[in-house]
Amino acid sequence: MSLWKLNFSNLQKLSLRHFKTPLSILAGAGILTALLLNFEFNIIEAGLYDFRMAKGPQARPDSRITLITLDDATTATLDDLSPLSLEVHARFLESLEKYSPRGVGYLVDMNRVSQLYPQQFRSHPGQKFTEIAIRMERGGTPVIMGTSFDVTGEVLPPYPLSALPHALALIHKDGNVFARDKVTRSALTHLYDKSVFHFELARKLGLISEGHLPRGSFSVPEVDANYFNFRYHGDVALSHASQLSDSERYRRLSFLDVLNGTAPIDSLRDKIVLVGTLTRDDSQDYALTPYSSASFSNPKLAVHANILDSLINDDGVAKTPHYVNVLAIFLLSVFVIAAVMILSPLNGLFATVAVIILFLTFTQLVFYGFGGHSGLWIRVSQPLIGAFLGYYLAVPYRLIREYKKRWDYQRKNKLLVQVEELKTNFMSLVTHDLKTPVARIQGLAEVLLKKAADRLVDRDKETLNHIIQSTDELNRFISSILELAKVESNYIHLRLESKDVNSIIERATAGFRAQARAKNCKITMNLEPLFPIKVDVSMITKVLNNLIDNAIKYSDPGSEISILSVEKNEWVQISVRDQGVGLSPDEIESLFKRFYRAKNQATAQTSGTGLGLYLSKFFIEAHQGRVEVESEQGIGSTFRILLPILPTLPPAAMIRPGLTVSMPEDSGKSSEESTYV
């Protein structure tokens, strides 16, 4: 039971460590999301919305809509003041009737006309205008009068025009909601449960139904009104009217041309006509310029056209639900925080920039509806601010974690260094203290064997020989441990002398003749004449001793061991080839590691420390050389030592810290010694 509890506790700790970073990322993103949802950032959102609306691909204006503008040229020609007299408007409506339009939206403020010419509304012009409008309505061409709004509500046109169909033509400006910057982004559809001008005109034309709610509709209960986010079409996408082609703008005609009957027939036949003023005297008519940078002609009338266009084509911009905004903030924050916490600093920055660009591109495409006729408005201000905050909060948090981790590593490394020093000191102390008693045991055994050989039985002689062999093995083990301690303490003295490598090979081989004869192995040498090279005789001898000793140990009785030397290009190559058990590829890969011994029957029956090849590789690399091995199981192994003919000083990256190099035969001068730290 206690064991189960222990394993479960360890599993819990492992799980917590494993999920610590993901949980931190999710928690950070959740906190950021909850915080940002308390702030609207409407000014930023409005700017981004306007950028998408004005600079992106625009839907083409509906060719069924034509604008007739009462401009300064008209008032100058008629020598009258805007918005002209009711008599002129009656003549204009009579002339317009001849063109057979599909419907007429009259957006001239008739209350101002009444202020300038009050008597005309009580006489023939007032009756004539009303009769023409009613006649057009009966003929299938509805005429809707646009009205203004004040604190009392809708301002009706003066009698008798008030008998005609009319509706509120108010253009909504963001003044007390959203960005509060007086920019027109949404339009009224109903106020106090009564449909407004654009909705009423579209309904009378049969283009929408009575209960229709356009795309992008939303309700504001505080003012008992319904709105929808209409789309600006090509008419306002560019800042200058001269840059617009005919297909990118609504057809425009002058009030005067229609009045005189000179307007083209096809420009008005079966068209939805909006009539409005455009003079310096009427700058406050119904709508303001939607974008302050725009300088196109008749901006106020164009806003009405865009609202009507979006309504009859149902291509408003629908705002996504609240949960989509929450999800966008959370996911973008998660990705940015994860990029900072997991990736490298530079890759984290690139990933953050890339995901922001992808997010903006996606929201742009969704906004344009992949074609410009419908789309979704995904709020981007809060997710973007969440991404920036996530990045700038995650970076210092990661720096703190990295600093803590580095401090832990430094503390552990310091502790490991201390442990390593204690271990090295302990090993040196033990091995030095062991050498003396081992040497004494070996000496006493040899003396006893020599002096009492004639009095000892064969079994006792064999025992003494085993003692001497065991002390030899123990001496070799102690020597290996001492060499390893020197290597790991970074203190090795490399004493370079100009020597004939062949003479070193011959001396090393001579020491193993007896061991080879005892195992019935034959050692052959094929040594090519070589020039002297600078080597540390002691180190090279140790390497050769180790290779020859291994070759004898792991060879079968009666086999041959070949030792070759040859000069190849800039290297002196020494090869030791045996006909032993051989090695597998996996064993070759780990052969030069500390304390590693191959797992086969020969190694199981042969004593060894697993340090010989590790130290041999170190000694050869200290000479700027290298060790190579070729082996095949059941056939044998070949070890090659490559030593440079002309070594460079310092020995490049092969020299390890703490290695001392001396050359006592340098040009007859006193010996030079350098330590590379």
468 within domain boundaries? no
Q: Is pLDDT above 70 for 566? A: yes
The amino acid that residue 166 corresponds to is: H
- Shared domain check, 329 and 310: no
9 vs 449, higher pLDDT: 449
CB atoms within 10 A of CB 191: 20
Compute φ and ψ for 324, nearest 5 degrees.
Answer: -65, -40
For every residue of 320-368, DSSP letters joined together read PPHHHHHHHHHHHHHHHHHHHHHS-HHHHHHHHHHHHHHHHHHHHHHHH
The pLDDT value recorded for residue 612 is 79
Angle at 225 between CA 141 and CA 155, to 5 degrees: 55
**Domain endpoint, select from 284, 314, 344:** 314
Q: From CA 138, how far away is CA 363, in angstroms rounded?
A: 47
The pLDDT value recorded for residue 399 is 87
Q: Is pLDDT above 60 for 650? A: no
Lowest average pLDDT, out of 67-81, 273-287, 436-450, 649-663, goes to: 649-663
The pLDDT value recorded for residue 139 is 92
664 vs 66, higher pLDDT: 66
Containing H/E element for 219? strand 217-220
The pLDDT value recorded for residue 101 is 95
Q: Is pLDDT above 70 for 196? A: yes
Specify the DSSP class assigned to residue 207. Answer: S
- Shared domain check, 662 and 518: yes
94 sits in the region (left: phi over 0; alpha: psi -120 to 50; else beta) called alpha
Q: From CA 174, how far away is CA 179, in angstroms rounded?
A: 6
Q: From CA 589, how far away is CA 630, in angstroms rounded?
A: 11
E-strand ranges in 445-513 read 492-495, 497-499
Q: Which residues are CB-neighbours of 345 under 8 A, at least 6 positions away?
A: 395
Q: What is the mean pLDDT of residues 487-499?
A: 74
Q: From CA 15, how far away is CA 38, in angstroms rounded?
A: 34
CB-CB contact of 547 with 615 (8 Å): no
The pLDDT value recorded for residue 430 is 64
Q: From CA 91, how far away is CA 170, in angstroms rounded?
A: 27
The pLDDT value recorded for residue 283 is 35
Q: By percentage, how much of the chain surpasses pLDDT 90?
A: 26
Q: What is the mean pLDDT of residues 637-643?
A: 90
CA-to-CA separations, 510 to 258, 294, 468, in angstroms, rounded: 124, 102, 20
Q: Is pLDDT above 70 for 648? A: no
**Domain endpoint, select from 292, 314, 336:** 314
Q: Is pLDDT above 70 for 182? A: yes
- Shared domain check, 125 and 53: no
Compute φ and ψ for 591, nearest 5 degrees.
Answer: -65, -35
Answering whether pTM is above 0.85, one says: no
451 within domain boundaries? no
Residue 70: closest CA among 234, 344, 259:
259
Q: From CA 666, how far away is CA 192, in angstroms rounded?
A: 108
Which residues are registered as beta bridge partners of 575? 564, 640
CB-CB contact of 378 with 320 (8 Å): yes
355 within domain boundaries? yes
The pLDDT value recorded for residue 221 is 87
Bond before 221 cis per omega within 30 degrees: no
E-strand ranges in 528-617 read 533-535, 560-568, 571-577
Indicate the pLDDT class of residue 604, thresholds 50, 70 and 90: very low
Q: Is pLDDT above 50 for 580? A: yes
- Shared domain check, 263 and 143: yes
Compute φ and ψ for 383, nearest 5 degrees.
Answer: -60, -40
12 within domain boundaries? no
Specify the DSSP class assigned to residue 280. Answer: G
- Shared domain check, 145 and 71: yes
- Shared domain check, 302 and 360: no
Choose from 192-196, 287-291, 398-402, 587-591 the range with maximum mean pLDDT: 192-196
Lowest average pLDDT, out of 43-52, 254-263, 470-479, 563-572, goes to: 470-479
- Shared domain check, 541 and 566: yes
210 within domain boundaries? yes
445 within domain boundaries? no
The pLDDT value recorded for residue 14 is 46
Query: Helix/strand/coil (H, E, C) string of 607-628?
Result: CCCCCHHHHHHHHHHHCCCEEE
Q: From CA 575, how far away is CA 642, in angstroms rounded?
A: 9
Q: What is the mean pLDDT of residues 41-64?
A: 84
- 169 burial level (CB within 10 Å; 0-12, 13-18, 19+): buried
| Residue range(s) defining the domain that contains residue 348 | 20-57+318-436
Q: Is pLDDT above 80 for 400? A: yes
CA-to-CA separations, 398 to 34, 337, 392, 411, in angstroms, rounded: 22, 10, 10, 20
- Shared domain check, 263 and 121: yes
Indicate the pLDDT class of residue 661, thresholds 50, 70 and 90: low
CA-to-CA separations, 348 to 33, 382, 396, in angstroms, rounded: 21, 21, 13
For 453-469, the pLDDT digits (tens) are: 777 777 877 787 778 77
For every residue of 64-107, DSSP letters joined together read TEEEEEEEHHHHHHHT--TT--HHHHHHHHHHHHTT--SEEEE-
Choose from 103-112, 405-414, 601-610, 631-640 the range with maximum mean pLDDT: 103-112
Q: What is the mean pLDDT of residues 410-426?
A: 77
- Shared domain check, 171 and 103: yes
Q: From CA 549, how far away is CA 576, in angstroms rounded?
A: 10
- Shared domain check, 511 and 548: yes
For every residue of 388-399, DSSP letters joined together read HHHHHHHHHHHH
CATH (domain of 664)? 3.30.565.10
139 sits in the region (left: phi over 0; alpha: psi -120 to 50; else beta) called alpha
CB-CB contact of 536 with 497 (8 Å): yes
Q: From CA 536, how far away is CA 37, in angstroms rounded?
A: 75
647 vs 414, higher pLDDT: 414
- Shared domain check, 117 and 210: yes
673 vs 274, higher pLDDT: 274
The pLDDT value recorded for residue 277 is 84
For 128-158, the pLDDT digits (tens) are: 999 999 999 999 999 999 998 877 778 888 9
Q: By percentage, how much of the chain surpasses pLDDT 70?
A: 80
Q: From CA 496, how far away is CA 501, in angstroms rounded?
A: 13
| Average pLDDT of the chain to the nearest whole number | 80
518 within domain boundaries? yes
- Shared domain check, 310 and 392: no
For 269-297, the pLDDT digits (tens) are: 999 999 998 644 433 332 333 443 333 34
Angle, helices 345-368/322-342, rounded to nearest 10 degrees? 160
Compute φ and ψ for 477, nearest 5 degrees.
Answer: -65, -45
Structure tokens that stand for 287 in this block: 């709508």
Q: From CA 289, how far away is CA 300, in angstroms rounded?
A: 6
658 sits in the region (left: phi over 0; alpha: psi -120 to 50; else beta) called left
Q: From CA 277, how far away is CA 81, in angstroms rounded?
A: 11
Q: What is the mean pLDDT of residues 580-598?
A: 78
Which residues are registered as beta bridge partners of 494? 661
CA 68 to chain centre: 54
Compute φ and ψ for 580, nearest 5 degrees.
Answer: -90, -150
- Long-range Cβ contact pairs of 479-482 (< 8 A, separation 24 or more): 480/609, 480/611, 480/612, 480/615, 481/427, 481/431, 481/609, 481/611, 482/428, 482/431, 482/432
CA 299 to chain centre: 44
**Domain endpoint, select from 268, 285, 314:** 314
Residue 359: closest CA among 342, 396, 340, 334:
334
Q: From CA 445, how far away is CA 452, in angstroms rounded?
A: 10
109 within domain boundaries? yes
Indicate the pLDDT class of residue 603, thresholds 50, 70 and 90: low
For 169-180, the pLDDT digits (tens) are: 988 888 766 777
Number of domains in the chain: 3
CB-CB contact of 255 with 68 (8 Å): yes
The pLDDT value recorded for residue 334 is 94
For 332-387, the pLDDT digits (tens) are: 999 999 999 888 889 999 999 999 999 999 998 888 876 545 689 999 999 999 99
Angle at 207 between CA 202 and CA 208, to 5 degrees: 80
